């Protein structure tokens, strides 16, 4: 679908939106009209489920994504993602068709409004769920000396999620180029965030040692200010936090707005898109609005003509061939499970530079609570990483590393604490290959379980039954009572196969 009557695109398909009122208005208007079309399609019964529009927040949503101009940059978004997605991809048809559940949708009609993907853009509907993943992606960028930045966009209500703080801490100690963008519209669904956020927002970023900024999309110079933030990040390669004050003009999703009319009128009166329109020449406005109308009529027609996604068939892209690591056999004479694992991990680190070990207390001379990594951190200093006590955060970081081509092996000190990783496994790792056409998540999560050592009810459980019910998860259980040869061999082949699914 040719968008050139509204904006030019670069070689990767990303819209090139300049800083003039005319260019900002043209693209902001396209986002608004696309969302109005989506709402209209809902009204006509052509879409089921729900959607979250960014009406009133278009300029805010465009700002950071617009300024990201390196091919390695990533954008991780959330439920309110249409503005981010369109600014990154320019793909109006892909968005409209996706929400309509049509095959031309960017995710083949399987994702819907909250789950969009295009190149390095991914969105998911679990609040803060993408934050650890973003840190992992940034870690991978740093390890290959890329100039890329990862922008993770959350709403202000999401400041209540604990994983966010694990992720900010990881970003800080690893000193990776992640920008946490908080779209501060003062509300989360129907709850005012002044009633749910304690203390100061920017101070949260500063407390973790992040660079921090607070801007308003009502400011005339806003888009240029955001560009400077991104440039600063690009140069410093340090993590940062950007809080953007904005205003949600529409309901949370559809029909759920408890705010009174006066309050909504006030937000509409300060609409930054309207302010930009007023700064454009009348002829330009007319041309932009008419080009947009023509273009969206074409989008609607093409979306309507696209066949519905076939929900009776699983998406084929979920089942990619496994990647392989060329690695010699493990030491079959290892005296016990620990030594067999140590040998297998050592061989993997030696034979594939993309293998990374994350876990608590892995460093030498300690070598992990069960001594599985002894000798490895001394030898592979930057690839055997002792982490904070942040099980969800490091699982998320592992997913991000895996998405960026690494082969992470995350050690959870005791299997009991896999419960803390559950959302990252259940709602992220195993779903991404099905949700996002080009995503593989070759992560291995390893944890000792079972007891008989007197560790008690929170350190001795066997939780395999929980994971049996996780679709898309390969499960392997090795018993220390079995011979060690199969343990070593299985460990090596499991890790070496580097599965699409974890
Ligand atoms: C972990 C989680 N809890 C609850 C929800 C349901 N939910 C979806 S959006 C939302 C409000 C989010 O508010 P905010 O972060 O301020 O973003 P905004 O909608 O204002 O852009 C809630 C509670 C969710 N998607 N994920
Ligand atoms: Mg909000």
User: 126 CB less than 6 Å from ligand 1?
Assistant: yes
Q: Are strands 355-359 and 384-386 parallel, antiparallel or unpaired?
A: parallel
Is the minimum distance from the CB of 473 to ligand 1 under 6 angstroms?
A: no
Q: Is the CB of 127 under 6 A from ligand 1?
A: yes
Ligand 1 centroid to 129 CA: how many Å?
11
Ligand 1 center from residue 128 Cα (angstroms): 9
The predicted-structure confidence for 102-125, as pLDDT tens digits, reads as follows: 999 998 898 899 999 999 999 999
Local confidence band at 498 (pLDDT 50, 70, 90 cut-offs): very low
Nearest residue by C-alpha to atom 13 in ligand 1: 188
pLDDT in tens, 332-366: 677 788 888 899 899 989 988 999 999 999 999 99
The closest of 463, 497, 496, 456 to 477, measured between CA atoms, is 463
* Mean pLDDT, residues 491-497: 54
- Cα–Cα distance, 209 to 223 (Å, whole number): 25
Q: Is the pLDDT of residue 437 over 80?
A: no
Residue whose structure tokens are 């690893």: 174
Lowest mean pLDDT across 412-421, 423-432, 456-465, 476-485 = 476-485
CB 126 within 8 A of CB 155: no
Q: Which atom of ligand 1 is closest in space to residue 154's alpha carbon?
A: 15
List beta partners, residue 361. Answer: none
Minimum mean pLDDT range among 383-392, 459-468, 483-492: 483-492
Is the separation of the CB atoms in 89 and 31 below 8 Å? no
- Name the CA radius of gyration of the chain, rounded: 24
DSSP code at position 429: I
Measured from the CB, is residue 189 less than 6 Å from ligand 1? yes
Centre of ligand 2 to C-alpha 155, Å, is 5
**What domains are there in the chain, each with its CATH number?**
19-305 (3.40.50.970), 317-497 (3.40.50.970)
Q: What is the mean pLDDT of the chain?
A: 91
In terms of DSSP H, where are the helices of 323-444? Answer: 337-351, 376-379, 391-403, 422-424, 432-435
- Measured CA to CA in angstroms, residue 54 lies from 47, 269, 271 at distances of 18, 16, 12
CB 240, CB 202: distance < 8 Å: no
Is there an atom of ligand 1 within 6 Å of 246 CB?
no
Q: What is the mean pLDDT of residues 176-187?
A: 98
Share of the chain above pLDDT 90, in %: 75
Q: What pLDDT was estimated at residue 456? A: 85
Q: Which ligand is nearest to the CA of 61?
A: 1
Closest ligand 1 atom to Cα of 57: 21
3-class secondary-structure state, position 462:
coil
Burial-class residue 311 by CB neighbours within 10 Å (0-12, 13-18, 19+).
Answer: exposed
- Strand order in 355-359's β-sheet? 384-386, 355-359, 407-411, 444-446
Report yes or no: 148 and 190 within 8 Å, Cβ to Cβ. Answer: no
Does the CB atom of residue 183 touch ligand 1 within 6 A?
Answer: yes
Ligand 1 atom 18 nearest Cα: 155
Give the pLDDT mean for 386-391. 98
In percent, the amount of the chain with pLDDT more than 70 equals 90
Q: Report which protein residue has its CA nearest ligand 1's atom 25.
A: 126
pLDDT for res 478: 56
437 Cα to the center of ligand 2, angstroms:
29
Question: Is the Cβ atom of 158 under 6 angstroms away from ligand 1?
Answer: yes
> Is residue 184 within 8 Å of 244, Cβ to Cβ?
yes
Least confident window among 2-16, 166-180, 459-473: 459-473
Contact 408, 356 (CB under 8 A): yes
Alpha-helix runs per DSSP H in 80-161: 82-89, 92-99, 131-143
For residues 131-148, give the mean pLDDT: 98
Protein residue closest via CA to atom 17 of ligand 1: 155
Give residue 482's pLDDT: 43
List the one residue out of 207, 195, 107, 220 whose CA is nearest residue 164. 207
| Helix and strand totals (H; E) in the chain | 18, 15
Ligand 1 centre to CA of 158 (Å) is: 6
**How remote is the CA of residue 156 from the centroid of ligand 2, in Å?**
5
**Residue 167's pLDDT is what?**
99
Mean pLDDT over 209-215 rounds to: 98
Q: Is the CB of 79 under 6 A from ligand 1?
A: yes
Ligand 1 pocket mutation pick from 51, 79, 114, 158 by most atoms within 8 angstroms of CB: 79
Return the ligand 1 atom nearest residue 248 CA.
20
Q: Which atom of ligand 1 lies nearest, measured to the CA of 193?
A: 16
Asked if the model's pLDDT at residue 399 lies above 60, the reply is yes
User: Is the pLDDT assigned to residue 497 strictly greater than 90?
Assistant: no
- The DSSP string of 240-309 is EEEEEE----S-SSSS---S-HHHHHHHHHT-HHHHHHHTS-HHHHHHHHHHHHHHHHHHHHHHHHSPBP
| Terminal Cα-to-Cα distance of the chain (whole angstroms) | 36
Query: For residues 410 and 450, which has the higher predicted lDDT (pLDDT)?
Result: 410
Specify the DSSP class assigned to residue 120.
T
What is the reported pLDDT for 450? 80
- 155 within ligand 1 shell (Cβ under 6 A): yes
188 ligand 1 Cβ < 6 A: yes
CB of 23 within 6 A of ligand 1: the answer is no
Query: Smallest Cα–Cα separation from 124: which of 440, 429, 472?
Result: 429
Ligand 1 atom at minimum distance from 52 CA: 19
Cis previous bond, 320, omega within 30: no
pLDDT of amino acid 110: 86
Enter the pTM of the model.
0.95
Is the distance from the beta carbon of residue 240 to the nearest atom of ligand 1 less than 6 Å? no
How many alpha carbons fall within 13 Å on the CB side of residue 158? 26
Ligand 1, pocket-test mutation among 123, 157, 181, most atoms within 8 A of CB = 157
pLDDT attached to residue 87: 98
Confidence label for 321 from pLDDT (cuts 50, 70 and 90): low
- The pair of structure tokens assigned to 470 is 């996780």
Please write the tens of the pLDDT for every residue from 25-65.
Answer: 999 999 999 999 999 999 999 998 899 999 999 999 999 99
3-state SS class at 375 = coil
Can you tell me which atom of ligand 1 is nearest the CA of 54? 21
């Amino acid at each position: 679908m040719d968008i050139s009557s509204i904006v030019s695109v670069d070689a990767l398909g990303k819209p090139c939106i300049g800083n003039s009122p005319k260019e900002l208005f043209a693209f902001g208007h396209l986002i608004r009209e696309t969302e109005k079309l989506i709402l209209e399609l809902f009204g006509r019964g052509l879409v089921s489920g729900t959607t979250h529009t960014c009406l009133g927040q278009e300029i805010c949503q465009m700002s950071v994504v617009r300024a990201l101009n390196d091919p390695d940059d990533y954008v991780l978004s959330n439920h309110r993602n249409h503005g981010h997605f369109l600014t990154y991809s320019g793909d109006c048809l892909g968005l409209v068709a996706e929400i309509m559940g049509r095959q031309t949708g960017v995710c083949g009609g399987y994702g819907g409004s909250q789950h969009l993907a295009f190149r390095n853009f991914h969105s998911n509907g679990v609040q803060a769920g993408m934050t650890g993943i973003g840190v992992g992606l940034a870690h991978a960028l740093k390890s290959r000396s890329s100039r890329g930045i990862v922008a993770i966009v959350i709403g202000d209500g999401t400041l209540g999620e604990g994983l966010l703080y694990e992720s900010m801490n990881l970003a800080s100690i690893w000193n990776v180029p992640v920008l946490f963008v908080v779209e501060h519209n003062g509300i989360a669904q129907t709850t005012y965030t002044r009633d749910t956020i304690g203390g100061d927002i920017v101070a949260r970023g500063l407390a973790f040692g992040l660079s921090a900024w607070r801007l308003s999309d009502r400011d005339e110079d806003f888009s240029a200010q955001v560009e400077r933030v991104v440039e600063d990040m690009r140069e410093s390669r340090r993590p940062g936090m950007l809080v953007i004050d904005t205003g949600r003009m529409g309901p949370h999703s559809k029909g759920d707005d408890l705010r009174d009319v006066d309050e909504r009128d006030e937000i509409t009166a300060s609409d930054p898109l309207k302010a930009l329109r007023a700064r454009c020449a009348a002829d330009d406005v007319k041309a932009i609005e008419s080009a947009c109308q023509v273009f969206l009529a074409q989008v609607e027609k093409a979306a309507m003509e696209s066949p519905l996604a076939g929900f009776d068939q699983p998406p084929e892209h979920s089942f990619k061939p496994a990647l392989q690591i060329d690695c010699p056999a493990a030491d079959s004479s290892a005296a016990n499970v620990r030594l067999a694992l140590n040998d297998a991990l050592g061989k993997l680190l030696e034979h594939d530079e993309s293998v990374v070990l994350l876990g608590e207390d892995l460093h030498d001379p300690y070598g992990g609570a069960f001594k599985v990594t002894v000798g490895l951190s001394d030898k592979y200093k930057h690839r055997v990483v002792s982490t904070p006590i942040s099980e969800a955060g490091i699982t998320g970081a592992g997913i991000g590393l895996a998405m960026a081509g690494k082969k992470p092996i995350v050690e959870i000190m005791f299997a009991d604490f896999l419960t803390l990783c559950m959302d990252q496994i259940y709602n992220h790792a195993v779903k991404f290959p099905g949700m996002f056409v080009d995503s593989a998540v070759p992560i291995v999560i390893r944890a000792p379980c079972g007891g008989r050592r007197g560790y008690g009810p929170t350190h001795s459980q066997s939780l395999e039954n929980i994971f049996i019910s996780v679709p898309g998860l390969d499960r392997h259980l090795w018993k220390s009572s079995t011979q060690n040869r199969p343990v070593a061999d299985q460990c090596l082949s499991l890790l070496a196969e580097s599965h699409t699914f974890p």
